[in-house]
A = this chain, B = another copy of it.
């Protein structure tokens, strides 16, 4: 196998390994809040937007209803959110935070700093990786 093609593979593997490494660093912090990483992402989105349809959540997190529906049911079982079918469009389901869901934000407030610390990101890494990766993501999102 040609060297260049092999390296290209490894870049994709690096993304895959890095994603799992990052998630593993969240685990002890999120475990204390009884959240998984994808559940935390949903909570982050709701803390920012307050109410979101399943479709809007899916667009933000790039996840489909096959992933979100059971995840949202688990968050509802924990009393952090409420799923309310929209009156204007009965196909749509709106996700609301409960009081407990809103309060959880206080316990999550220092997670980003702890993760950054735990991962040991440098300023240079942050400033280089974030824009470069987001450009790649945008290339395949906008159409």
| Chain A residues packing against B (C-beta within 8 Å) | 1, 5-23, 26, 37, 41, 44, 47, 61-62, 105, 109-113, 115-116, 119-121, 125-126, 128-130, 132-134, 136-137, 139-140
Contacts and interface: CB of A to CB of B under 8 A. Distances in A.
Contacts of A21: 62, 136-137, 140
A100 to B, nearest CB: 18
Nearest to A26: B12
B15 A18 contact: yes
A120 B5 CA distance: 14
Nearest to A45: B13
B130 A10 contact: yes
Copies of this chain assembled into the complex: 2
* Chain A contact surface mostly: helix
A10 to B, nearest CB: 7
A112 B14 contact: no
Contacts of A113: 5, 8
12 contacts: A1-B47, A5-B109, A8-B116, A9-B112, A12-B26, A12-B115, A15-B133, A18-B133, A21-B140, A119-B140, A120-B136, A128-B128
